[in-house]
Amino acid sequence: MKALIAFLKRYWVVLRRPSVHYSLGTLTLGGFIAGIFFWGGFNTALEATNTEAFCISCHEMSSNVYVEIKDTIHYSNRSGVRATCPDCHVPHKWTDKIARKMQASKEVWGKIFGTISTRDKFLAMRRELAEHEWARLKANDSLECRNCHAFDYMDFTRQSPRAAQFHSTALANGEATCIDCHKGIAHRLPDMRGVPGW
Amino acid sequence: MKLHYLPVLLFATLGLAIAADPQPVGKPVAAAPDYPLDAPAPSGRRPGGTLTQEFTPPPLHDEENKDIRRERNYPEQPPTIPHAIRGYQVDINGNKCLACHSRAASVQAQAPMISITHYTDREGQTLAAVAPRRYFCTQCHVPQQDVKPLVENGFKNIDVLLQHELPPGSNQQR
């Protein structure tokens, strides 16, 4: 421990001392260029984890939730527009995205220790996992839904009477948000006992 | 003789034995049956062609989604579903239909509540919740599509039949 503190101290002294060998220009320009590389690298790596290919590179995702979305309208439909995992599960704004990515470190932990490494483990945990997503979408007013399904551009005359009825009342006055009614639209539902509205 | 020639020799012997085996003569060949194997398909649901012929399936149609209750042909008929039910999950984990049609939810959704028959078991005993035998809605209730019926239907409902039963000019109420 003492050695470590001494080691850190030595580096701290070096960092505090003004540069002797390099000009201010070199340091500034070098720092700028290094900054571009680091930031670019960071962002590229971040975006790489934000692809469906990355998500389903783990069997936990590819053999459970990814199989299930394939049956739904968010994967296959008449016009071929589809949602990929990050479209719904990762916020699009940078700060929110970073916050979510930090939360996702828990998922790395889960992967390493095999928290949902088998189908049975996954099913046993499904309610908890689903509740996390419901809570997230409830808290941000279904932001990821609204990235595509914007309320302002909904044409109630093109909706079924039932849909128009609910969207023009409960959704319009903010009483309910998308996830309150539209649960289990892209994946199968967990045991729904005790969930409000079920 | 070296031992590793043995398998080759064995195979050669076996091959010769098979080749030398005379073909079984006079084995009865299945006579052509006196009925057509590739019978014409029954017309109606699958018009034209033969049973083994493959056709391009007819195009899929959208479920009718008007939310207007349809007339029942007889009182016991399970009402047909007047809306789309794509992706509705009905299994051990939950029942999407009951999210609107259950006793408690029907108020908010203004959907018809499932009838009392859904709360009784086969002995007619009333249960506290939906009877398991009534849980899978699409066993009896199905959505409809606006298509030409595949087979003609001569069904007459009871009102029409009663009209015919009555002597002409009778004032009897039906």
Q: Is A197's CB within 8 Å of B84's CB?
A: no
Chain B contact for A190 (CB, 8 A cutoff): yes
Give the separation between CA B48 and CA A196, rounded to whole angstroms: 52
Distance from CA of A188 to the nearest CA of B (A): 8
**Residue A157 contacts B, CB cutoff 8 Å:** no
CA dist B87 to A7, A114, A149, A164, A183, Å? Answer: 62, 30, 18, 19, 11
CB-CB: which of A73, A161, A188 is closest to B89?
A188
Residue A108, min C-alpha distance to chain B (Å): 28
Q: Residue ranges per domain, chain A?
A: 59-148, 150-183
Query: Digits of tens for pLDDT over chain A (198 positions)?
Result: 889 999 999 999 988 888 888 888 999 999 999 999 999 999 999 999 999 999 999 999 999 999 999 999 999 998 999 999 999 999 888 898 999 999 989 999 999 999 999 999 999 999 999 999 999 999 999 999 999 999 999 999 999 888 999 999 999 999 999 999 999 999 999 999 999 888
A197 CB neighbours in chain B (<8 A) are: 99, 105
ipTM for the whole complex = 0.77
* Interchain pair B94, A184: CB under 8 A: yes
pTM of the model: 0.75
Q: Where are the domains of chain B?
A: 88-142
Task: Name the β-bridge partners of B90.
Answer: B95
Instruction: Indicate the fold that domain B88-142 takes in CATH.
Output: Flavocytochrome C3; Chain A, domain 2 (1.10.1130)
Measure in Å the smallest separation between the Cα of A97 and chain B Cα atoms: 30
User: Would an 8 Å CB–CB cutoff place A159 in contact with chain B?
Assistant: no
Measure the CA–CA gap between B37 and A14, rounded to whole angstroms.
Answer: 94
Look up residue B11 and give its DSSP letter: H
Which residues 6+ apart lie within 8 Å of B163 measured at CB?
B174
